[in-house]
């Protein structure tokens, strides 16, 4: 048999799929980007209100609160991603080359994608959280 035939008759490409629910994978992949989107949309309006009104302190407090909520959601997504990766890291034997050729280990791949996305969006939210504390002007 050739390598192609071996791949065609192999087991399911994600044998540990029962260890990771679809809801958990969806949260792992979309939690941090969703939190960033929420943070961006809400804070854009709140920062405008803070600059336009005399009650700027309460508006900036709301901006910080939204940032903290977004960081909490993104951190939760990172924790779920790590847990899913931990459960599925032994999904298939072999290194990267074997997995790329066979297209196996999908659940583990999605967990790693969730980890990367969560980390990047956490950094983006954290950098934006620094703004109110640095005394940025509204000009």
pLDDT in tens, 83-104: 888 877 776 665 555 555 544 5
Predicted pLDDT at 12: 52
Predicted pLDDT at 59: 73
Closest CA to 125 of 76, 68, 79, 78: 68
| Residue boundaries of the structural domains of the chain | 20-133
pLDDT in tens, 6-52: 545 555 555 555 667 888 888 999 999 999 999 999 888 887 777 77
93 phi, psi to nearest 5 deg: -80, 155
Output the six-digit token pair for 71: 């960081």
Predicted pLDDT at 101: 52
CA distance 88 to 19: 7
């Amino acid at each position: 048999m050739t390598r192609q035939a071996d791949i065609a008759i192999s087991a399911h490409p994600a044998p540990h799929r029962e260890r990771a629910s679809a809801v958990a994978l969806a949260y792992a992949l979309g939690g941090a980007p969703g939190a960033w989107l929420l943070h961006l949309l809400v804070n854009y309006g709140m920062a405008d209100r803070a600059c336009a009104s005399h009650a700027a302190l309460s508006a900036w407090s709301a901006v910080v609160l939204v940032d903290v909520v977004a960081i909490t959601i993104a951190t939760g997504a990172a924790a779920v991603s790590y847990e899913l990766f931990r459960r599925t890291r032994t999904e298939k034997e072999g290194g990267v080359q074997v997995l790329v050729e066979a297209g196996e280990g999908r659940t583990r791949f999605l967990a790693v994608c969730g980890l990367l996305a969560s980390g990047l969006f956490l950094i983006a939210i954290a950098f934006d959280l620094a703004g109110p504390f640095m005394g940025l002007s509204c000009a």
